[in-house]
């Protein structure tokens, strides 16, 4: 039995969404993704198809041109993309980055931007938070936004800003009050919606970073970039809360991608173990091959329960931080362990590009590091769930 055929507690709507996504992904087989990986190119055709299918606007309310569906629907979409052998990283931020605008923007801002984001006319995929000297220590970012009349002037640098070259808008976190002049360490940061189409070339520079995976990642430099004050989202100095507010959805959606990867690796490994005959018998008859795959399946199913529980909490408006973080950790480890087993099962063929195993192996390794590292999730659970002393 393939994992894609396993019984699920899906509603009829979710089942229909899964089937539609699988149909779309069938138009983009392994050859398509291998060529992109080889050329370090952006999957423009795939992103356009996802946009036209309405899959990237599922979380945008209907009054702004979206589908108005819940996070569980978005989870199903990204799980199926990855289970089909594709990669949603090129466009997944179109789903969740707009949440900052949706939850904390003014009605005028939402009316101005959300319909175009829902239609795909505007790409809101760049998330400008991480910096070279700060990493995940967001309170130590150095990019500043200084008020100058009806504008803010931005100076600084962001790194690992995925898809900046392929985005029209960026959600930017910058310091508006010096760190030594705030009452609380979490204050003094503000969020802005940057229209990169209008930015002068000298004021906003994008430099690609060559990487093993995630070929669309960049670093961005700001030099006296002027942003209209009307593009600030929410109150000045309260931006950290707005950014953190959207990270639960991000972590759950990334966990969904990991579930899809785990399914893909499990299906690939079990099929190969059945068909590959060595010493007159299928290699899958050997317990040394069986047991790792079986263990990976157990990990996958356990992670899957946690991911959909986290999504249900989020959809119900309940606090989802604990399960969003744990789901991301569990799913990323399930996918990574399944990847390792799949490669080992294929032996030398696992390194051959035509099998797609080595590509997916590299892709799923990212999720041990981003969008939040495994160690930071463990620190979160230790401190906020188990009430142990803060470790950093």
Rounded CA separation 275/51 (Å): 38
Burial class (CB in 10 A: 0-12, 13-18, 19+), 223: middle
Asked about 108 being catalytic, the answer comes back as no
Q: Do residues 97 and 171 make contact, with C-beta atoms less than 8 angstroms apart?
A: yes
- The DSSP bridge partners found for residue 175 are 144, 189
Rounded CA separation 123/375 (Å): 32
Strands (E), 94-168: 124-128, 144-148, 151-159
Residue in this structure with the two tokens 């392994």, named with its chain if needed: 30
Rounded CA separation 17/34 (Å): 26
Q: Give the Cα-Cα-Cα angle 46, 48, 49 (nearest 5 degrees).
A: 65
Rounded CA separation 113/60 (Å): 11
Burial class (CB in 10 A: 0-12, 13-18, 19+), 164: buried
Catalytic residue chosen out of the listed positions 250, 257, 299, 358: 250
Q: Do residues 102 and 60 make contact, with C-beta atoms less than 8 angstroms apart?
A: yes
Residue in this structure with the two tokens 């399914």, named with its chain if needed: 263
> Which residues are the active-site residues?
250
């Amino acid at each position: 039995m393939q994992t894609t055929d396993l019984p699920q507690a899906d509603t009829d709507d979710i089942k229909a969404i899964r089937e539609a996504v699988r149909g779309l992904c069938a138009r983009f087989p392994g050859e398509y993704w291998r060529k992109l990986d080889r050329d370090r190119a952006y999957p423009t055709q795939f992103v356009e198809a996802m946009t036209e299918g309405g899959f990237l606007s599922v979380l945008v309310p209907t009054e702004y041109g979206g589908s108005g569906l819940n996070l569980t629907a978005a989870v199903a979409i990204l799980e199926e993309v990855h289970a089909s052998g594709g990669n949603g990283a090129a466009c997944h931020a179109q789903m969740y980055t707009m949440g900052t605008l949706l939850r904390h923007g003014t009605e005028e801002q939402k009316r101005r931007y959300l319909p175009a984001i829902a239609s795909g006319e505007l790409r809101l995929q760049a998330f400008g938070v991480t910096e070279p000297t700060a990493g995940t220590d967001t309170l130590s970012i150095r990019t500043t936004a200084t008020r100058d009349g009806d504008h803010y002037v931005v100076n600084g640098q962001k790194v690992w800003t995925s898809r900046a070259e392929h985005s029209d808008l960026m959600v930017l976190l910058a310091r508006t009050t010096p760190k030594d002049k705030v009452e609380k360490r979490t204050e003094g940061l503000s969020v802005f919606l940057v229209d990169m189409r209008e930015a002068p070339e000298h004021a906003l520079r994008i430099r690609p970073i060559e990487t093993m995976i995630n070929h669309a990642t960049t670093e961005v430099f700001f030099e006296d970039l002027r942003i209209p004050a009307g593009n600030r989202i929410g109150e000045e100095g309260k931006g950290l809360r707005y950014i953190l507010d959207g990270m639960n959805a991000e972590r759950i959606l990334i966990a969904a991608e990991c579930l899809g990867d785990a399914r893909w690796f499990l299906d690939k490994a079990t099929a190969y173990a059945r068909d590959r005959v060595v010493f007159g018998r299928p290699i899958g008859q050997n317990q040394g091959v069986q047991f790792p795959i079986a263990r990976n399946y157990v990990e996958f199913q356990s992670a899957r329960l946690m991911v959909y529980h986290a999504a249900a909490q989020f959809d119900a408006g309940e606090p989802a931080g604990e399960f969003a973080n744990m789901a991301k950790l569990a799913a990323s480890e399930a996918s990574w362990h399944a990847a390792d087993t799949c490669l080992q099962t294929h032996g030398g063929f696992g390194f051959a590009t035509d099998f797609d195993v080595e590509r997916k192996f590299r892709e799923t390794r990212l999720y041990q590091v981003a969008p939040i590292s495994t160690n930071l999730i463990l620190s979160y659970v230790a401190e906020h769930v188990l009430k142990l002393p803060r470790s950093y």
